[in-house]
Amino acid sequence: MNRTNIDIIKFVAPEIIFGMNAISQIGESALRLGARKLFVVTDQGLMEHSWIKKVLFYLEQAGLEYQVWSEITSNPKDTEVAKGSEQYLASKCDAIMAVGGGSPIDAAKAVATVATNGGRIQDYEGINKITRPLPPMLMVPSTAGSGSEVSQFAIIVDKQRKKKMAIISRSLVPDIAIIDPQLLQTKGARLTAATGVDALSHAIESYVSLAANPLSDVRALEAIRLIAGNLRESVACRTNMQAKSAMSMASLQAGLAFSNAILGATHAMTHQVDGLLDLHHGETNAVLLPHVMEFNLISCADKYRQVAIAMGENVDGLSKQDAAHKAIDAVRRLVRDIGINYGLSNMGFREEYIPELSKNALHDACIITNPRDADAEDLARIFYKAM
């Protein structure tokens, strides 16, 4: 009997609560997870805004106890995770919540991992190395970019090696993600731009990933469409809630896409740069993404044509290659329009870093799903072009 072979597709996602004033659902959501005392991970920047007070108010309203931990920096470090894990265990909390951008969310996931599985966060670098269940996790993003609130990724800096570690496990998918676009109003233009391009890089890299599937593709393309149509406006005006809502949805869709399809060379390379220089991940992505797209073009021109269409480009009558180039041009134009018009050298990056970082990027989990094979010399050439 003839049978059609169908690839098995696995798609992981948390419960998602999305919309204006969604943070009002925090207390009820935590109760549904069985929480009694939450370890609330945030950063000093969020502590200065009223949103964290609202979050704590909703926890108190639900009769929940909590302990706030805000001792993390941008690009969370292994040493910070170790301290957070100790504090989590000492606090007798039974659930973890993060409020903030990718840094607090990734730190919360890492704290949950070390607190329940033991050892150091380095022990879990790579894919599927977490073996024991994590405490219930509830995530509230304050930026539209990282997608970490729905992903199976956590990115943590190893201070000694000066590199970002990618920890990938289905165990890291939060139980509940609460996404309220109102929180984006506290972010300035530069951060809005950087996080927006981070979401774009997630969407494009997951769309052309070797692990892409129909469930991730539809989300990646929708994210690209939303970002192309709304990022400029979101950067221009903090109170443009139509643009903020669209960018929150774009970040969510891109997060679901890359969580399930993984990423590519752009992220393999930015993890090395950001770990060394402590730069903003989104800005590094913005500089490297067009150059990586050029490198990958011969392996995925058909998909780049769809990226161009999603970005509003007219590709009628164009050859496959010309249509694909339109996607790269559209990305470059968007990045320039939102104020990221510089190269790596303007960010403190020096040519002498290239040989070592190119070799290190080959050991990053994200390089495995890049659509075109790459060696250290290929990555070095991309770095040079991005200077």
Mean pLDDT of 72-90: 94
For the entire predicted model, the pTM comes to 0.94
For residues 252 and 199, what is the distance between their CA atoms, to the nearest angstrom? 9
Q: Which residue has the higher pLDDT, 205 or 101?
A: 205
Count how many residues are written for the chain. 387
pLDDT level of residue 6 (50, 70, 90 thresholds): low
For residues 323 and 229, what is the distance between their CA atoms, to the nearest angstrom? 19
Three-class DSSP category at 100: strand
For residues 11 and 260, what is the distance between their CA atoms, to the nearest angstrom? 6
Residue 162, pLDDT > 90, answer no
Q: In order of start, what are the domains of the chain with their CATH numbers? A: 15-184 (3.40.50.1970), 189-385 (1.20.1090.10)
Three-class DSSP category at 298: helix
Of 93-97, 99-103, 301-305, minimum mean pLDDT range = 99-103
DSSP 9: -
pLDDT above 70: percentage of residues in the chain: 98
For residues 288 and 201, what is the distance between their CA atoms, to the nearest angstrom? 10
For residues 276 and 256, what is the distance between their CA atoms, to the nearest angstrom? 28
